[in-house]
Every structure is written in structure tokens, then in C-alpha cells.
Structure 1
């Protein structure tokens, strides 16, 4: 689902620009159809959805809302024909099962996205979750997929958001986003509480008031909670992230804020949203995404909407880049050379990324001629060891021969030492070269109640790595114990240590890791090749004796 959503936003962008792009469209539509079909595997009989389907005890409020949102967006853009009964049962489950009499939505099931619960008390977290679920119901209404008997629950949720106190910045952004959407749909026949338009305008002002402007860029950041060690990671700069530095919640909030501005301001958001778009683009990782799949999805939703809006006035400009290429004997360049490169941006290519590789340490001169707006990002990529930080998880790993078997057994112990414990945890176990896990071991790892105290929800194996999806792991819980039985498929000499990394799915910077030593291979090798060692020793002794005799004979001859 998290991979289907970005594709939907790309297609909505192409539709807004009325671009054909047949090959891209065909591939994107295939991805959307596959994502739609695959997500149905995680549907519960009551209409809800959860991360692992019917293997979970109940559906998840957050995931059901997220599925309803993306399905509705895809259906509304005519990208896939969503079965109306699927959308209806999901919406009814949210209103009838997850909503209280006050209008707020409760976190039923596992809310695997930790920032959805705000990292604060339940009362405050309900505002963030209610805003998110209400936004999904609004998307369903916009796409014509909201059943009539769910409209009352939607109205009650809007009233709750209008009346509730939302002290955290995260909640303020989500409330502004949701109320602005509702105000825009009021003219489309959406039944809304009295005073919604005024409440939406006030929420928008509150959101704008907490914006952080640094130079020519603007973004939004969560409210700091210095009393909690876990919250120090929220809204602060990430010391181990290169080149981008902001945390996932900052990216997510800024993406929501961008979408809110476009809905509220229309074309006026072109100017006001430019510093926001500039910040989002500057915070991308070298691979093009952001911190996690979730914040990447929200950021892309905001940027694609901004790009579609700006397509009405594409740039027409020429960018000239001048720099000095230093002398290099290895490249047969005996003296420094002046280099000038020109980039052209117009209606035909302004949405195509153009990249130049520049020498490090040289001054770069850029001149621009023409009209319009474009964003130029200069990124430096280097390799360095990350600064030491306190780990979120304590990880231990060892490997030894399994008693009474020719296989090897790797044991991993995981403990959370800080953090709230909300959200899914991933344990990535890297295997030694030449080793393969036993199928029975992978099955037991998932199904045994003793594996991580029964918290293992899914186990994947690919590219010599086992990924274990852990439903919950909190400070003070009994150690999460994992065992993997392996066989040697190929003999590999001089094995190197492997790693076991544990991290939060939605906040990978909260992690812990350890190395697994291959010392066991020394004992195994000596046991299996002791005869060969003796033979080699005897051969070397014989060779020395023959060389001595040959030297003596040559001396006598001479």
C-alpha cells in the first residue's frame, strides 16, 4: 500500500498536466492494479485492514483509514475501479467500531505508525489520529465512495476536531489539513457542522504561525518534549543522516502543510508554497526519497500537487554553470581547465531532473537568463563513519554448531533501552556468505510463540538477509529471542563478520546493531582439514630434504 500511494500521486500529476506518456502510464497503472489486489489480502471479514491481515487479532484504525484514503484517491482519479463494497465496509468499520460518541477515533488494533499517536498522552494522540481518519473519510466522500450512513460519523469527527484542544504542532498541522479539505468540499454537498469555514481559516492561521523559516526555506517541526528521552529524536537534526538532516515527522508535517496551502489558497500557493517546496526538495536523500516510506509518501503528495499547480506557468530559462576543472595526472589533464555547461528549462522538459557532476572544492558560478522558477540543489556525497549515539535497541548475536546436527544455529537477543515502544520494529539478520537458512527454521521463527515472545508477525528472506517484523517491543519487556538454523551451501574461506540491525520501521534512525563473529569457521575448518595439514607438513619436510641434497651435489660438482 505504501508503494501504491506514490504511484497514484504521480499519475494525478500527469493527469493534471494532461500529459500522455504512454509507457510511464502503462507501468504506473500496472503498479496500482497490483497494489490494489495485493492490499485486499490484508482485509478482515469485518471490512477493516491490518498490517498482517487475519493473522492479527483485529483491524487497525490507522491502516484501514490509509487504505480507504489511497483507494479513494485512485478511484477518484479513474486509475483503478475500486469495489464500492470494499470502501463502504472500511468506512463503516471506522465509524461503527473505531469511533467514540464524542466523534474521536480510537487506535484499534496496532497503530504501527508511531507518530500517529503523537508520542504523547492518549488524549492528545486522539486528535492526530482523528484528523488522519477524518481526512480518509473526506477522500472517500470526494470519490463518491462514502456510504450515506457514515456521513453522520464524518460530521461528528469534524465537530470533535473543531472543539478539541491540539497543543502539539503535529496535531495543528493535521487538523488544519483536514478542516481545509472539509471546507473545500462543503460546496459539493458535504454535510458539515456550523462554523466549519471559520474554524478551517483559524486552523490555517495556527498552522502558518508555527512555520519555521530559515533563509529562503520554510518547514514545520514537531513541538520539542525535553522531558522525554525518546522525544529528543523528534524535530531535532539527525546526526547520522547525510546529506539530508531533518527527521521523518518534520518531512511529513511539511508535506501535509504543502497540501493544505494548495487546497486553501489555490494558485496563490505558487508563491507562498515555493519556500516549502524548496525545503522538501533540499531534504531528500541521495536516492531521491526521505526518511521512511510514510513521510516520503506524504511529501510526494504535497510536491506533486504543487507541481501540477505550477504546470500552468512553466519556466523558460537558460542556466549556465561555470567552474574550473583542476589538473589531474591520472586523467592526463596537465593543467586546470575552465568549463562551461548550459542547462535549458522550458515547457517540454521542466519536470525532468537534470544533473551535473562538479569537482569538489572548486568555486561554481551560476547565471540564469529568462523567466520562471526552478530549484537548483547542490549536494556533496562523502563516506564517513557516523557519529556515535545512544542506541535505541541493545542487540546481541552469536553463532555455534547445533548440538546433534551438522547445521549452525544463530541466536539473536534484542532489548529496547529507550523510546516509547509504539510502532513496528524490524530485525535484519545478515547471513554469512555461503550459508542458507532452513525452511523449517524460518517457519518456526514466525509461528513459534517463543520467538520474540510471540511478537513476530512476518519473516522474509532475500539477498542473504532475513527480515523479521516485530509487532511491538517496549522498554522493560523480556528480551526478544530469535533463533535461525543455517546450513553451509557453499564453502567460503576468510569469512567476514556479519551484522544484525534492529530499527523502528517508521523511524529508522532509532536503531541498534551488532556484529556476528565468524570465529566458528576456524574450529570447523581445523576439524575438517587436519589430515590435509599433516600431509602438507610432511610434504614441506620432504621438499626441504631434497633441496639440501641437491645443494650438496651441486657443491661437490663445482
Structure 2
């Protein structure tokens, strides 16, 4: 039943799926749940199930119809590029049995201009079961998320409609809808982050940085912000659902969403900072991630990246160690854990090492030792971390295998991982030997310390992971004063590599780095201490306070100056984690020499359909015979949607493991690119909404584990006119 409050409500929430939370019913067998229905005018079909010691129950489907006497619907694209225009459509539906007079009015905004069409009237008759569409030409004037609010009101009128006197409904005679439109700048978005971790001991510590924009920056696209925290885990805590702005469509990437929650929960619990709100947030992510991960499970308890094809030993070990740790916070089926453990143990060879099944995630992990040793070290670390009873013999045999491989320490990644393994195993003699060797290949930059795979290695992702394993090795025993000193230098380097969300470059480096940082933060945690952060900008000054009550508080300010010198000073006794994030757009760069992607558009300009076919070509010319998994992101032209049949053809094509359609992008997961071999895909885009001054769109391809290895290509509609 409608109430007077509904007259004033603004509809803004339009989800595709309405998901309810898990609730405990209790012994009574029933409970009352208060929910707010989404704003979509539709019929919802409910699905509900119940688990109890007696078994599983599934409720019969029920329907819930959300209805109004009349309602308004806005039709606009998901996003457009600055400079484009389109017809904003507002359609009013009348479900009353009588005629009404409707006036449609847009809310005033400085973010865009709405130009009425010459022949369009915005007050009109609308009789029973009729619909009418009203149009404006919309020209956004700002970048970012724009709110478009429109109201439709049934008004009194002396004018008859269809020889019928119009009526005004008693309730629900106004419908107000707000929809969002993303306005993007032209070209390619670039992000630069500058990170500092300063821990004063009563003295002032200072840093300076000069922000610069390239000469070819696109006008109006630059924006900058400064954030300050009293805890190095706070940035990750704030962005638990998006540490990486990358797709999450496979089993390993899903785990990169799940695993950091575990380490952050452990840290907050160990330092007595775990609030109810943080606990609920992180545990919800854990439960959702656990349920999603079961989609990638095989019948024998193993896991693979896409739930099909060959089982992956590395991924199964990753899932196993994460599920065991997560079981301290949420329910994880013990049988799921046991099946994964049995499958892992079945892969152990007679020499104690583990047989590889599936591909190593990152090709750059390979080096002077066999993949078998690297894999075995990772599995052994997982088993030791979990401390599962019933596996001592398996661990002893694997440690024996790893000791046999110690003659070759040319692979820095494996050496760092082995140092962590033997620290967990309590073999201090071997640990000391490995750490001593790592000390000879460390890269010291002032007060910062890190490692890379080799002198020619340009993968920041792998350097983060290697350095994180060294940090874990230093801290997983009882750390000495020297261990803590070295750890501090590693942590300062690691925090300098963080992105604006608290993650790192890719999946494994984010997981391992946050595990190491949380352990370090636990070891050095001090609930006391306060500091003042002063930032002198070119045109003003900003001040932030850090105290025992706001260490995890994310404090952020937008910066007025995109260029110029910034001076940062921290005074007091508490550590301050600071970050300046600078984002801007530049014209799409020329194709990379060793990786290329092209999009050839074809269209019949004499046709009214304006549909477009794209031939997508990808080729890898690098030194490696094959790449890691590649991600191709296809930005759709404004006002266009992908053809369903061509999506099916891409999904079923060779080398494509998975395909996602999110917002205005298609994301294609390509298993690998072979050297010098052209990989082709074909896509048809259908015209949905007219857009004037149609701008080009971007196709990007990149290595998932080394995102800096990337290429871009801009394509345009052949029939578009400026």
C-alpha cells in the first residue's frame, strides 16, 4: 500500500539481482526480516534455502511485484566521453485505468546542459496503459560521475484527454528517478602514486616531492589527492573489495579478493583493533569469496583457474592454505579442506617434491631451478603455515627434497621462498645460509631495501613478492634487533610500491605483501603515540592529526595543485603512512614494440543500423616463447552494446578461457600468446542509443602478472562525424 512518504521518494537503486544476507532462524524455525525493496518497477522471484543439522531445505519460489500507478524510466548510456552528446530519453508509463496529465521536469544541474527539442512538449496527456517518451539533447560539462534527476508529476488540468477529464491519483502522483552517468576524459588514464612511511621518535621527519604533468596531458583530466593513515594496514582495510582495479573472473583472482581479508582480520584481532563493523565487513567478503571459489573446484577436491581443464597444483595449495586460515573466522566445510589436502598430497613424488599439474602462474618465477622446486617450496610453506595434523611425514619428505636443491641459488624468488619455508620449519641453520646469500644480492637504495629476480628483471610485481617472502622469513622466527632493522627498510620499500587502493601490481604480490605487512605491523604495533602531519602545498597548507583513537581512520583531501613542490613533515611519536595519488589522461600512446593489439572497424555507412564489426588482432614479439595469461579490455563505443552471438563466438574460441561484460567494457581472458603468432577475435557492436560527436574507444591488452607489459589501440566508428 502506498503511503504519503512515497510521494517524496527518489528512486536511485536499480540492481540486477537483489541479494539478501544470511540470517540465523533459531529454534523457533522462523524469523522476521526487514528489507527495503529496490527501486526497479518489476516482479521479483525469491529463492531461499536453509541449512540445519537435519539437512538442507529449499523454499518454494514466491513472487513480489513492485508497482506504482505511473512511473518514470530514464534511458541513458553507461558512460560517454567528454564532448559527446546524446538524446536523453524519459519514458512515462501509466498503469491507471484513467487518463492523467503528466509534466516531466529535469532537475537543474551545473554538470550538464539539457537542450529541449524544438518539436517536443513536456506536458502531455497519458491515458490508461499508455506510455510516452520525452527527449532532450544532453551535453555533459564535467568529468566523473554525473547524477541525472528527472521527475514526472500528474497535474490537475482543465484540458480533457481523449474526451475524458483527467484525474490526479491520491497517492504516488510524483515519481522522481536519479540515474548516474560516467563522463570520461579522452585518451588513456594514467596514475602515479607517491608513498611514504615515516616513524618519528620525537623528532621531525620530512620528505619532498614535486608533482609534474606531461606536456600532452588532456585538458581538465588531472586530479590529485593526499591520504594519511596512522596504520599501514588501514588503506587495504578501507578497500577490501577492490585492492586491485583489475578483473576478478578466474579462481586465482577471486582468491586475491579473499586472502587479504584473512591477514587483515588476523592483524586487527591480534592488536585488539577489531571492531564489529570491520569484522562484519571482512567476514562478508570471506563468505562471498569462499562461495565463489567453489565454482572453480573439481570433483576430486582440486582447483583450476576457470573450473575446467587441467587441475592446478599451485592454485589448489593457495586455496587450501587460505581456507584453513579463513576457518578461524567463518564456516568452511572441513570436507572441502580435507579433499584439497588429500589431492595435494597425492601429487608428492618419491623424492619428496611435488608434481606440477597446470601452469605456473607467472612465467618470470622460472629460473635456475626447476619449476618443481619452486612449486614444492610453495606447497611446503602452505602446509607448515596451516599446521594441519597428519602431515608431518609429507612435510619431512618435501623438506628433504628442498634441501637437495640447495646447491643452486640462482633463482632469487625460490631462494626467498625457501628462506621462509625453513624458518617455518625451525631449521635455523639452513635459514641463516639462505638469508646470508640473499644479503649478497639485495638492492639497497638509501634506507630502502628490496630484491628482484635478476639484473634485467623489470617486474615490480615479482620484486614485491620476493621482498615480501624475505620479510616473512625475518619475522616468522623470534626476530632480533637486526632482523627488525632490516624489516623496517623492506617495509618502507614495500609501502612505496602500493597503489592507491592499498594493493600492489597483481594478485600474488598483493596477497603475499599484505601477509608480510600484517605480520610486521603486529610485531611492532604500539597503541600509544600521536603525530601531526603537515603538508605544505604550492598554494596552501594541510594538517592531519594521528592519535591512538584514529590510527585506522582514512583521512583524505583533494589537492588544488596538480604540479609543483610538496613538503611533508611528521612530528610526534606515531608512524604516519602517507600517499599522494596523481591521475590524468594522455592521448593513446603508440603501439608497444614487443606487444601489439589492433582493432579494425568495419561498417556499412549507408545502413541506418550503424552496427559495427571489429576484427581484433593480438601479437607478442617479446623474448619469451609465450606470455602469461593476458587480459584484453575492449571499451565499447558510447551508445553501443555487444552482439550476443559474437560474444558466444569469442567465448568459445581457442585460447579464450573466460569473457565478462561489465558496464561499458568487455574483458577477455586469453590463456597465453605465442611468440609472433597473430591471435584474432571478431566482435559485432549493435547501436542502442544515438550519440553525437562520437569519440574513439580504446582496446588494451596486458599481462595479468606484469601489467606494465601492455599495448593499446584506439578505434573509431568509420561513419562517425565530428
Fold shared, TM-score > 0.5 on shorter chain: yes
- How far apart in 2 are the matches of 1:135 and 1:67? 13
1:148-547 equivalence runs, <5 A? 148=390, 150-164=391-405, 165-183=408-426, 196-225=427-456, 232-234=457-459, 247-266=460-479, 268=481, 269-311=483-525, 313-319=526-532, 321=534, 323=536, 326=539, 339=541, 342-355=543-556, 357=559, 360-362=563-565, 364=567, 366=569, 368-369=571-572, 371-376=573-578, 390-401=592-603, 407-420=611-624, 421-447=626-652, 451=653, 454-477=654-677, 479-521=678-720
Are the aligned partners of 2:657 and 2:670 in contact in 1 as well (CA < 8 Å)? yes
| CA RMSD, 1 decimal | 2.9
Task: Give the structure 2 partner of residue 537 of structure 1.
Answer: none
Match of 2:355 among 90, 106, 111: 106
C-alpha deviation, 1:263, in angstroms: 0.5
C-alpha deviation, 1:392, in angstroms: 3.7
Task: Give TM-score scaled by structure 1 length.
Answer: 0.76
Are the aligned partners of 1:127 and 1:166 in contact in 2 as well (CA < 8 Å)? no
C-alpha deviation, 1:362, in angstroms: 4.7
Q: Unaligned 5+ residue runs, structure 2?
A: 1-254
- How far apart in 2 are the matches of 1:284 and 1:400? 41
Match of 1:61 among 304, 309, 313: 313
- How far apart in 1 are the matches of 2:644 and 2:418? 47
Give the secondary structure class of the aligned counterpart of 1:496.
coil
- How far apart in 1 are the matches of 2:592 and 2:682? 26
> Is residue 73 of structure 1 aligned with residue 325 of structure 2?
yes
Structure-2 change in CA distance of 1:344 and 1:43 (3 Å): same
Deviates more, 1:494-503 or 1:347-356: 347-356
C-alpha deviation, 1:440, in angstroms: 2.2
Q: Unaligned 5+ residue runs, structure 1?
A: 184-195, 226-231, 235-246, 327-336, 526-558
Q: Which digits, 9 at most, give the CA deviation of each residue in 1:442-476, with x for residues without a partner?
A: 122112xxx3xx11110100121111111121204
More strand by share: 2
Match of 2:373 among 120, 127, 133: 127
Give the secondary structure class of the aligned counterpart of 1:413.
strand
- How far apart in 2 are the matches of 1:267 and 1:47? 41
Q: Which digits, 9 at most, give the CA deviation of each residue in 1:169-193, with x for residues without a partner?
A: 111111101111122xxxxxxxxxx
Q: How many pairs does the alignment contain?
A: 460
- How far apart in 1 are the matches of 2:593 and 2:702? 10
Structure-2 change in CA distance of 1:443 and 1:517 (3 Å): same
C-alpha deviation, 1:350, in angstroms: 2.9
Structure-2 change in CA distance of 1:405 and 1:171 (3 Å): farther
Higher relative CO (Cα under 8 Å, sequence separation at least 6) belongs to 2
Give the secondary structure class of the aligned counterpart of 2:464.
helix
1:13-28 equivalence runs, <5 A? 13-28=267-282
Are the aligned partners of 2:531 and 2:574 in contact in 1 as well (CA < 8 Å)? no
Are the aligned partners of 1:427 and 1:470 in contact in 2 as well (CA < 8 Å)? yes
Are the aligned partners of 2:256 and 2:508 in contact in 1 as well (CA < 8 Å)? yes
Structure-2 change in CA distance of 1:401 and 1:361 (3 Å): closer
Q: Which digits, 9 at most, give the CA deviation of each residue in 1:388-407, with x for residues without a partner?
A: 78444221211223899954
Q: Which digits, 9 at most, give the CA deviation of each residue in 1:306-331, with x for residues without a partner?
A: 112222x24523335264764xxxxx
C-alpha deviation, 1:125, in angstroms: 3.0
Structure-2 change in CA distance of 1:74 and 1:324 (3 Å): closer
Give the secondary structure class of the aligned counterpart of 1:508.
strand
- How far apart in 2 are the matches of 1:347 and 1:361? 33
> Is residue 10 of structure 1 aligned with residue 264 of structure 2?
yes
Give the secondary structure class of the aligned counterpart of 1:221.
coil
